[in-house]
Every structure is written in C-alpha cells, then in structure tokens.
C-alpha cells in the first residue's frame, strides 16, 4: 500500500504472511525512513512477540 502527495510516496507498507495468512513481517517506509517489524506466534492466533528494526 502506498500514500502519495503530489505523486511523491510519503508512506508505504508491505506485508509478508505465513501459510495461515498471519502477518509475519511488515516493512513500513515513512518519508524515506524504513522500519521492519517481525511477528511471531504461539500455537494460538495471538501475537506473542513483535520486534522492530529500530529503537522505539
């Protein structure tokens, strides 16, 4: 997904999913700064860990 202002991307996001359709990775770019998030799950459909590539 992308959001643009005057044809210039200001926000982009891409998702990677596992075989069950759950999000396992999100890569988000906001005005040129990119963060990636990794999601891990238990056997239930609840996210038990989310990590980010940069400091909170």
pLDDT of residue 29: 92
The 3-state DSSP class for residue 25 equals strand
pLDDT at 32: 87
pTM as predicted: 0.72
For residue 35, give both structure tokens: 């963060």
Are 26 and 7 within 8 A, CB to CB?
A: no
How does strand 33-41 pair with strand 47-52?
Answer: antiparallel
Predicted confidence (pLDDT) per residue in 5-53, tens digit: 898 889 999 999 999 898 999 999 998 889 998 888 877 766 666 677 7
User: CA–CA separation, 48 vs 46, rounded Å?
Assistant: 6
């Amino acid at each position: 997904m992308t959001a643009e202002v005057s044809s210039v991307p200001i926000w982009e996001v891409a998702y990677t999913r596992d075989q069950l359709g759950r999000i396992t990775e999100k890569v988000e770019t906001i005005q040129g700064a990119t963060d990636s998030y990794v999601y891990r799950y238990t056997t239930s459909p609840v996210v038990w860990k989310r990590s980010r590539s940069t400091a909170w």
